[in-house]
Chain A
Amino acid sequence: MLMGLIAIKEDAMRFFQIIILGAVLAVPLFTSMSSYAADQDRFNIFACAPEWGALAREIGGEKVDVFVASKAAQDVHHMRAKPSLLAAMRKADLVFCSGASLEIGWLPVLLNKAGSAQVQYGDIGSLMASDYVERLEVMN
């Protein structure tokens, strides 16, 4: 009987530990979710490099919100799928990148984990610049 009560107490303690974990995470969540909902109404573009971001802003103007994944000084090929990119990918309606395996080190992770169906490679929301130019020196 005593062992049973102790077992229940242990289970309850564990349960509460998990609940507290959840509550701690929930507080900053709710504060951020309201501004996020407003963002979702806009057309969100995830651009991998500053040049694509500039082009997207030029074409889209006021109608689009552009997130640029890298700065000019960064090496796009050797970047990593860092947390801020996952958050930005989640709300992306269009992914605008170079393709041709330039972003192969990190973009697939973002697409798999946070990308919606329409931004996956080959779908309507995936714009890879290298698909629309004549590629030179392609290995086969």
Chain B
Amino acid sequence: MSKKLLLAATSAAVLHISFGQTAYAADDADIQALRSEILSLQKTYEQKIEALEQKVQTLQATAKINSSSQVPINVPATAQRSSKGNSFNPEIGVILNGRYQNFSAKEGDIAGFAVGEEGERGKEGLGIDETELNFSASVDDKFRGSATIALHEHEGETEVEIEEAYVATTSLPSGLEVKVGRFFPELGYLNSHHSHADDFADRPLTNRVFLDNNYGDDGLQVSMVLPTDFYSEIGGGVFRGDDFPAGGAGGADIGAWTAYGRVGGDIGDDASWRLGLSTLQVRQGTRSAQEDSVTFQGESGVYIADGRMVYAPTGNSAEQEISLQGEYFWRTEDGAYDDTNAGTGAVSYDDHQSGWYLQSAYKFDPQWRVGARYSQLYSGDTPLGLTGSSLDSDGHDPWAASAMIDWTNSEFSRIRAQYNYENVSNADADNQFILQYIMSLGAHGAHSY
């Protein structure tokens, strides 16, 4: 067996060597040729494969880009859907707020002034404030609209009040904006803001007395941000004249008009400021106040100087922020007052009153703020015919001081505790304690400065 194997092996080896050598010697050139052919084939195919691989890669990449955006020549649909309320998806928000109030003085009447309904002190005890529904959306590419409907109870009955219902332009050139409908016009600082966004639970004495918290009316307002490097804006409006201090629209005339001018800017990186002058001119009309016991018939003009400054000590206003804000009011009235409770009859009145407030809020923690406010009124001289009436200040210039602390868990919820010391008449001072919550459901729109 091994012999056969050995023979086979040797013969195979001999054959291999003899044949192999001759074969090798004979096809050397051919093999070289073959070899180079194979190499070149390999190269070509490698190149082709590389090219194909690159093509696949680029195709995949472009497919990815195409799938997550659209060619931005006209309107990227994703932008419109995500960024603003539109007619198919309006921003809807509900403000839920309520409070507990405790007063030490029986009466809260402000001496020397006939105050409208909203400007009064409020009720003691537990209760909800106005529940506000707000709908905001863009109407189309040129207009936007907003409606704020407030539901509140007055003397046991639920009242529905259209606080704001207006449309405004969005894309006029040259910094113009036209607003038409019912809204709170730009007057001083606080008037155009809703009360639930205030830094305090109530408005200062000046805004309560001169503007009945907010002057809101039906009309048209034009504003223009001017082409200056610093911020400057002017504007004005014409109104029906329905809300205090206007008297109720008598005829087809313009009942009231406003005008304002503002400037503002930055101080360094961390502070900003804004100053303004504005006026509200009320034409002839009849205005009732003090629970309809006092009427004023005539003209009046309110002039306001306002200022606000905000400073972020760490550079990030979400962490810490200090604000300082104040307004000075001057009101002229030319007409006649009649206090039916005091039985004065119509007494001619041509005089002025004034007042101011100064407040500061310090956000020392992202969620906590403290604030202090002082407000002062000057009622002017009481004419003889009005002695003993609501217009008789009895020589007392009303003033009030407030301190508050609030906890803001998010932009949607806030709880506040506030103490007021109100010295508004010659009677005992009023120590007020207020505890309130302000929460919002749904969309929470952008606030202006």
Contact = CB atoms under 8 A, between A and B. Distances in A.
Interface of A: 10, 14, 17-18, 21-22, 24-25, 28-29, 32-33, 35-37, 39-40, 71, 73-75, 77-84, 86-87, 89-91, 99-101, 104-109, 111-117, 120-123, 126, 128, 130-134
A69 B269 CA distance: 10
Interface centre among A18, A87, A123 (most CB of B within 10 A): A87
A89 B170 CA distance: 13
A29 B232 contact: yes
A87 B229 CA distance: 6
The 10 closest A-B pairs by CB, nearest first: A83-B264, A83-B231, A117-B171, A32-B228, A73-B315, A75-B318, A78-B318, A87-B231, A82-B272, A114-B225
B265 A90 contact: no
B279 interface: yes
Interface of A is mostly: helix
A77 B223 CA distance: 27
B224 to A, nearest CB: 9
A38 to B, nearest CB: 10
Given A74-B315, A113-B175, A117-B173, A81 B227 contact: no
Given A25-B234, A80-B310, A117-B171, A90 B141 contact: no
Contacts of A123: 75, 141, 171
Interface stretch (B23-31, B80-88, B105-113, B204-212): B80-88
Given A14-B281, A28-B263, A121 B232 contact: no
Contact of A18 (B78, B259, B263): B259
A9 B432 CA distance: 45
Given A18-B279, A35-B229, A90-B175, A101 B82 contact: yes
B317 A122 contact: no
B273 interface: yes
B225 A80 contact: no
Contacts of B318: 74-75, 77-78
